Chains A and B, each alone.
Chain A
Amino acid sequence: MTKAEYLAELEKRLGDLSADERAELLADYEAHFEHGRASGRSDEEIAERLGPPQLVAREIQYQLSVDEARANPTVRRIARAVFAGVGLGLMNVLMLLIPFAIGMLLLAGLFVLAAYLTVSPVLMLVQDGWSVEFLLKLPLAAGLLGLGLIFWVAAVKGITLFVKWMLAILQSNVEKVKEKLK
C-alpha cells in the first residue's frame, strides 16, 4: 500500500470527524510517511508497521465516540461508543450488550405499559360507549390513568438512570487499564 493509498483509505473511514480534526490527523500520518521515507523506508513497510488503516480509523472513531458521549451523554451517543468499543475488541461484547439490551427492553416495556394505562380510560369509553357501565367503571379508569402517569414518570427517570449506568460501564472500560495497574 502506497502513502497515497493509505491516506485515501484512512480519510474515507474518518467521515464522522470534523473537517479540522480529520485534516490534523491525516497530516500526522502524512508526516509519518515522510519521516519514514527520509529514513529510507519504503511506503509498503511504513504502511505495514502502522497497521491497517481500518484498524487505525476504528481506534480514532472509538476515542471520538467516547469523547462525545462524555461531553453530552445521550442514549444514541453512548450506543455508538459502546459499539465502537466492541468493534475494537476492547470490551467484552456480552458484558456490554447484555446490560444495554436489558436496559433497553425494560425501558421499552415501561413506556408501553405507561402508554397503555394512560389511554385505557379512552379504550373503555370506546368499548362501552357513553353508558351506565362506563360510568360505573369510572373510578377504575381514574385509577388506571393515575397508575399510567406514575409509570410515565418512572420510565422517564429510568432513561436518566440507564444513561448513567451505561456511561459508568463505558467509563470503567476506558479506565480499566489504570485500575488494573493499581
Chain B
Amino acid sequence: MNVQFKKGVLELCVLSLIARRDRYGYELVEEISKSIEIAEGTIYPLLRRLTKEGFCTTYLAESMEGPPRKYYRLTPEGHEVQQRLLREWEQFVQGVQNVVKGE
C-alpha cells in the first residue's frame, strides 16, 4: 500500500482507539497490529506528533504487572479531528465502492 496513504489511515486508527477510551502505547500498537500490518515502531512518532498538535494529552499510571503505562487521552480538538477523518474515510470508501461496483 502507498506509504502516505497508510500513514493517514494509521492516524485515523490511533485517534479512533483513543476516542473510545484512554489507551497506553503498547496497547495501541497491539490493537492495530491485530488488524493492519505495520512497522510497530512508527506508532510512537505518530503519538508524539498527535500530542504536540494538541489532539491528545498523556498521563502516567502504575500497573500491577509491567512498567508504568503512559496513557493517551483525546482532547476535544482531537475528537473533532477524529470525526473529520472518519467522515473523510467513509466518503472515500463509499467512492471506491461506487467505482468498483459501477453503481
**Residues of A bordering B, CB below 8 Å:** 24-25, 28-29, 31-32, 34-36, 38, 49-51, 53, 55-56, 59-60, 63, 67, 88-90, 173, 176-178, 180-182
Contact = CB atoms under 8 A, between A and B. Distances in A.
A35 B26 contact: yes
Nearest to A181: B88
Nearest to B90: A181
B3 interface: yes
30 contacts: A25-B44, A28-B25, A31-B25, A31-B67, A32-B40, A34-B66, A35-B67, A49-B39, A50-B39, A50-B41, A51-B40, A51-B42, A55-B42, A56-B42, A60-B45, A60-B48, A63-B49, A89-B3, A90-B4, A90-B7, A173-B4, A176-B4, A176-B8, A177-B8, A177-B11, A178-B88, A180-B8, A180-B92, A181-B88, A182-B92
B97 interface: no
A173 B8 CA distance: 11
B39 A180 contact: no
Contacts, number: 90
B5 interface: yes
Contacts of B103: none
Contact of B8 (A25, A59, A181): A181
Interface residues of B, number: 32
Contacts of A29: 41, 44
Contacts of A88: 3
Nearest to B42: A59
B59 to A, nearest CB: 14
Nearest to B12: A181
Given A31-B70, A90-B4, A181 B41 contact: no
